[in-house]
A and B are shown apart, each in its own frame.
Chain A
Amino acid sequence: MSALLEIEELQVGFGGRTAAVRGASFRVEKGETHCLVGESGCGKSVTALAVMSLLARGGQRSAKRMSFAGTDLLSLSDREMARLRGNRMAMIFQEPMTSLNPAFTIGSQMTEVLTRHKGGTRAAALDRAAELMGRVGITAPGMRLGQFPHQLSGGLRQRVMIAMALMCDPELLIADEPTTALDVTVQAQILRLLATLKRELGLSILLITHDLGIVARVADHVSVMYAGEVVERAPTAELFRAPQHPYTRGLLSCVPVPGRVQRDKPLGSIPGVVPAIGPGFAGCAFRSRCSHADETCAHEIPRRQAGEAHDYLCRLAPQSAEPQPA
């Protein structure tokens, strides 16, 4: 496998005062689902927006390397980037209720992606839209195409967003918390849909979530983000089996995973909150909440290897497996 998306040392700042992302690195392989997981505020959405070059005004990104299918994203002009977006890399968002333009029909919003990037007639685009709507499980696509967003439920709108993202047959789909705003039953349907699409279309998915349950179900690889950094990267099974970073372990202890958590023990929790990171911050950002922290944590932290595709950012030596709860 070769990397489709490769991000090294991504930095995102807003107005020079805030560091939203501080040197995040990860790779998304072709045909895999890669999860970016972390608490809200850890910089995972900003990372995704930075990849798409969709940062809000005042947001600045820099990176050592940022390549998509061999193209250096950093050197692209706004115009060239726009040619890529919606075409070879697409994105769907957390808020299906507000992400569609209330003033235009579903059909008009879906077709314009295709005609913009691939040309062709509107009629052909409408056919493609109807086909994709069927594919994402929308019944009566013909009727839906003529409707306005407010006439659709949240789950339907998210399906429309997904179908719209697929219009140009993209290589990469970035999904930013696509199910957070939806009912649990709809969540499961959408996740299953994403898994099917990945399999059938050979799509690579960068899925951003705070929900480890989702990670366990759909991810091939996981990158755990904390305070703007990727603190641990691993294949999904390995991450759940042998988490290394204290933050990852803390996160996993908060989630009931059958077999790993004993029934009569209370679930874990991580004390404290994500600290404010200003310019000039050094060392491990988790140290104020970490039970293993000592004075060396205030200095540069090495990236340690725990397996072939498994590394983490901590001074502690790798452990073979998670110590079984007593």
Chain B
Amino acid sequence: MLRLIARRLVLGLLVAFTVMTLAFLLTRLSGDLAVSIAGPSATQADVEIVRKAYGLDRPLYVQFFAWTGRAIVGDFGQSYFFKDSVANLIQKRLPITLTLGLVGLSLALIISLPLGILAAVRENTWVDRSVTMFTMVGQAIPSFWLALILMIVLGLQLGILPISGTGTWQHFVMPGIVLAFTAIPALTRLTRSGMIEAMASDYIRTARAKGLSRARIIFKHALRNAAIPVVSIAAVQLGFMLGGSIVIETVFALHGVGYLGWESIAKNDFPVVQAVVLVLAVFYIGLTLLADILNALLDPRLRTG
């Protein structure tokens, strides 16, 4: 198992390095960065000063290695717009995005697991079909639109939740619900199909032959096996949710990493864009690694094999 983890770790590092390269190249797509930074009213001389100041006059590969060299030790350079170090900015914004992600994932699991189990044990009944319909609807709702609807209903009409901002825990409820909805369809379907597969298995027939109670059969014997893929996918989903939180943070003006990314794109603040892409990718890589470890821990065949 340690070997498996070591291999995944090496793969993860390679992927991280590739993403780093891509993130660097991404920000050079716009052509001359110095022109964009200097702004539309700048003279040729201003542009040259900017170019020198930010080291953009050096060859591309020198810039790349200079950036990666510092990025590895957590130094992402200075933001042009926020006049602060990028590392500081991200450090300040990250807790908000992580809170949002965890709230979203918890809500998603609280809703998906019971729904998936219910649909599986009532397979092919109206209950099952309603759950499937619910996942179809959830998959089709645009998250930013759901966010606006919630703002109108919960924020304006019922007035029970704040519409935007970061101040209190209530500020995380609506964004959390919206973010949860991005993961609920997949997690529900996975729980359902895993439970259906487990319930049809020989070991469930054995459990029934042993005269165990229905609750014990469903929640101990079947769920334990169906949960293995769900837990690892949940970790991966959290990675997607952190990446996808940019839309939701922007709608709710939640000052997390996603919102930071959006602001810096709008301001052509390329060191921040690079860093945010990289940080989100590293989180995703870390979470897939975590998923592999969880998988191995939960499945005795991998743990002791």
Binding site for B on A (CB under 8 A): 52, 54, 56-57, 78, 81-87, 90-91, 93, 95, 98-104, 112-113, 116-117, 148, 150-151, 161, 164
Question: Which residues of chain B come closer than 8 Å to A57, judged between CB atoms?
Answer: 123
Q: What's the Cα separation between A113 and B213 when bound, in Å?
A: 11
Question: Are A164 and B221 within 8 A (Cβ)?
Answer: no
Q: Is the interface of B mostly helix, strand, loop or mixed?
A: helix
Question: Are A102 and B225 within 8 A (Cβ)?
Answer: yes
Question: Are A93 and B224 within 8 A (Cβ)?
Answer: no
Question: Are A101 and B206 within 8 A (Cβ)?
Answer: yes
B207 at the interface (CB under 8 A from A): yes
Q: What's the Cα separation between A184 and B272 when bound, in Å?
A: 69
Report 6 cross-chain contacts, Cβ distance below 8 Å, ordered by A residue: A78-B214, A91-B209, A93-B202, A101-B207, A103-B300, A164-B210
Question: Are A101 and B221 within 8 A (Cβ)?
Answer: yes
Knowing A103-B299, A103-B300, A148-B301, the reply to whether A113 touches B202 (Cβ < 8 A) is no
Contact with A along B258-287 (1 / 0, CB 8 A): 000000000000000000000000000000
Question: Are B225 and A82 within 8 A (Cβ)?
Answer: no
* In the complex, the 7 A-B pairs of residues with the closest C-beta atoms, listed nearest first: A86-B211, A85-B211, A86-B210, A98-B202, A101-B203, A148-B300, A91-B209
Question: Are A54 and B209 within 8 A (Cβ)?
Answer: yes
Question: Are A102 and B300 within 8 A (Cβ)?
Answer: yes
Knowing A148-B304, A150-B305, A151-B304, the reply to whether A100 touches B203 (Cβ < 8 A) is yes
| Minimal beta-carbon separation of A156 from chain B (angstroms) | 16
Question: Are A99 and B205 within 8 A (Cβ)?
Answer: yes
Interface contacts (Cβ under 8 Å), in number, total 83
B212 at the interface (CB under 8 A from A): yes
Q: What's the Cα separation between A100 and B209 when bound, in Å?
A: 12
Partner of A85, one of B208, B216, B224: B208
Question: Are A112 and B299 within 8 A (Cβ)?
Answer: no
Question: Are A150 and B203 within 8 A (Cβ)?
Answer: no
Enumerate B155-207 residues with CB–CB distance to A below 8 Å.
200-203, 205-207
Question: Are B213 and A102 within 8 A (Cβ)?
Answer: no
Question: Which residues of chain A come closer than 8 Å to B201, judged between CB atoms?
Answer: 98
Knowing that A112-B210, A116-B212 touch, tell me 6 more A-B residue pairs with CB under 8 angstroms: A57-B123, A99-B205, A101-B203, A102-B225, A103-B300, A112-B216
Contact with A along B218-247 (1 / 0, CB 8 A): 000100110010000000000000000000
Knowing A98-B201, A103-B299, A148-B301, the reply to whether A116 touches B225 (Cβ < 8 A) is no
Question: Which residues of chain A come closer than 8 Å to B205, judged between CB atoms?
Answer: 54, 93, 99
| Minimal beta-carbon separation of B36 from chain A (angstroms) | 56
Question: Are B224 and A84 within 8 A (Cβ)?
Answer: no
Select from chain A the residue with minimum beta-carbon distance to B199.
Answer: A57
Question: Which residues of chain B come closer than 8 Å to A82, judged between CB atoms?
Answer: 208, 211-214
Select from chain B the residue with minimum beta-carbon distance to A114.
Answer: B210
Knowing A101-B225, A148-B301, A150-B300, the reply to whether A116 touches B210 (Cβ < 8 A) is yes
Knowing A98-B203, A99-B202, A102-B300, the reply to whether A85 touches B210 (Cβ < 8 A) is yes
Q: What's the Cα separation between A164 and B210 when bound, in Å?
A: 9
| Minimal beta-carbon separation of B157 from chain A (angstroms) | 45
Knowing A82-B212, A86-B211, A87-B211, the reply to whether A99 touches B304 (Cβ < 8 A) is no
Partner of A52, one of B209, B213, B224: B209
| Minimal beta-carbon separation of A144 from chain B (angstroms) | 13
Question: Are A100 and B206 within 8 A (Cβ)?
Answer: yes
Partner of A116, one of B123, B209, B211, B214: B211
Question: Are B301 and A99 within 8 A (Cβ)?
Answer: no
Q: What's the Cα separation between A112 and B212 when bound, in Å?
A: 8
| Minimal beta-carbon separation of B199 from chain A (angstroms) | 9
Question: Which residues of chain B come closer than 8 Å to A103, judged between CB atoms?
Answer: 221, 224-225, 228, 298-300
Question: Are A102 and B203 within 8 A (Cβ)?
Answer: yes
Question: Are B211 and A99 within 8 A (Cβ)?
Answer: no
Q: What's the Cα separation between A150 and B221 when bound, in Å?
A: 16
Question: Which residues of chain B come closer than 8 Å to A104, judged between CB atoms?
Answer: 221, 224
Select from chain A the residue with minimum beta-carbon distance to B224.
Answer: A103
Question: Which residues of chain A come closer than 8 Å to B301, judged between CB atoms?
Answer: 102, 148, 150
Q: What's the Cα separation between A73 and B42 when bound, in Å?
A: 92
| Minimal beta-carbon separation of A157 from chain B (angstroms) | 11
Question: Which residues of chain B come closer than 8 Å to A56, judged between CB atoms?
Answer: 200
Q: What's the Cα separation between A86 and B212 when bound, in Å?
A: 8
Question: Which residues of chain B come closer than 8 Å to A117, judged between CB atoms?
Answer: 211
Question: Are B211 and A84 within 8 A (Cβ)?
Answer: yes
Select from chain A the residue with minimum beta-carbon distance to B124.
Answer: A57
Question: Are B211 and A113 within 8 A (Cβ)?
Answer: yes
Q: What's the Cα separation between A117 and B210 when bound, in Å?
A: 9
Question: Which residues of chain B come closer than 8 Å to A98, judged between CB atoms?
Answer: 201-203
Select from chain B the residue with minimum beta-carbon distance to A103.
Answer: B224
Select from chain A the residue with minimum beta-carbon distance to B300.
Answer: A148
| Minimal beta-carbon separation of A111 from chain B (angstroms) | 11
| Minimal beta-carbon separation of B296 from chain A (angstroms) | 13
Q: What's the Cα separation between A57 and B221 when bound, in Å?
A: 18
Knowing A82-B211, A82-B212, A116-B212, the reply to whether A99 touches B300 (Cβ < 8 A) is no
Question: Which residues of chain A come closer than 8 Å to B200, judged between CB atoms?
Answer: 56
Q: What's the Cα separation between A78 and B215 when bound, in Å?
A: 13
Q: What's the Cα separation between A78 and B206 when bound, in Å?
A: 16
